[in-house]
Amino acid sequence: MPATGTPLPWDRGNGPCVMAPPHLRGWAEEAAAFLSLRGMDGITAFATSGSSGSPPKAILFTRRALDICARGALEHLHAESGDWCCPLPVWHVGGAMIYLRAALAGTAVHTLRGKWCPQAYADLMKSSGARWSSLVPTQVVDLVSLGLRAPSTAGCIIVGGGALDTETGRKARTLGWPVVQSYGMTEAGSQLATALPGDSFHTDRLSLLPHWEAQTDKGGLLRFQGKGKLFGRLLTQAHGGFLLERVAPQEWWSTRDLVRLEGRLLTFLRRADRLVKVLGELVDPDAVQDVLRRSVPEAVVEAVPHPRAGMELVACGPSAAPLKQACREWNASAPGPQRIRAVMETPIPLTVMGKLDRNRLRSQLSDHPEKLKGIY
């Protein structure tokens, strides 16, 4: 597949390129300088975890590895021809890889400018004639909620950043949006497994992309291997500075995701830790809980399903008034996905050992949604 003049974000300079959101620009410049001093000018890195309450880190790739990931996606989807539409930020691996796939396929990218607008996206898909695109679940929800129909030229819309509920996926298909569920992560250069466009919409038994091998450990946690794998990680240290962790080519990369594998078909079950996806971003409820507990020691933060955001955070405690005040103070400076949306006044259930009985608390949230009260 020939390369084209499609501009790639990491081809703007000779040094390492650290892709990061605007609020991490200074951090990204420091990270790039750190890598350059260690002779890693050919490395491309993607910032991650900066929106989850933990210090940001960068996932490092060689250009060859990214090319392998892009070619694997093109082969899997049979996307060797046809333009792409990009509604995702280019500093995110999902947006950046759209540009690389197009460059390798010799096709163009039509970029949605400004903030996300479902009508503008539908109009751009129609006017550009783009065949391929990527969306996060909340964007698909918006298209369906407005009843926007897809142009006949749309061939495949990859959904990543979390699972799209089956009902919404089927409604999107009815409106002509050829959405397919994918499963992936930054460490895999975007996609590990993706449903095939010709199948009915489903979120389980996703087909592994051709350049990946996968297995599970004794606990059911996913491990993967392939030439598109990350080169290493750049971690932000608590006292300042960076720590470089290299990943050997022969090393299997271990995740915290519980999955079921049936041959080359992967079904994501759940994360083994507490991280949840809110508006396509990983959020750590425990990190938010730690902040609230500085003023409300009894506060517990949980995540509950939300039809558009995927999940949303709620705070629980025996007294609503101080809990609401703590949440307002937190929300004033927290990024959108990390904000508390509601509180529930309730005694915190404990086990016989005096520990939080999280299962009972989740049951209360599920069984009594009427007890959830807005922050404002």
- Architecture per CATH, domain 17-271, reads as 3-Layer(aba) Sandwich (3.40)
User: Would you say residue 53 has pLDDT above 50?
Assistant: no
Per-residue confidence band for 182, with pLDDT thresholds at 50, 70 and 90 = very high
Element (H or E) spanning 184, and its range? strand 179-185
What superfamily in CATH does domain 275-374 come from? ANL, C-terminal domain (3.30.300.30)
Token pair 């509601």 in the structure block, residue = 342
User: Would you say residue 354 has pLDDT above 60?
Assistant: no
Whether the CB-CB separation of 110 and 83 falls below 8 Å is answered with yes
Q: Whole-number mean pLDDT of the chain?
A: 90
Whether the CB-CB separation of 59 and 186 falls below 8 Å is answered with yes
Element (H or E) spanning 133, and its range? strand 132-135
Q: What percent of the chain has pLDDT over 90?
A: 70
Q: What is the pLDDT of residue 249?
A: 94
In the chain, domain spans: 17-271, 275-374
Element (H or E) spanning 311, and its range? strand 310-317
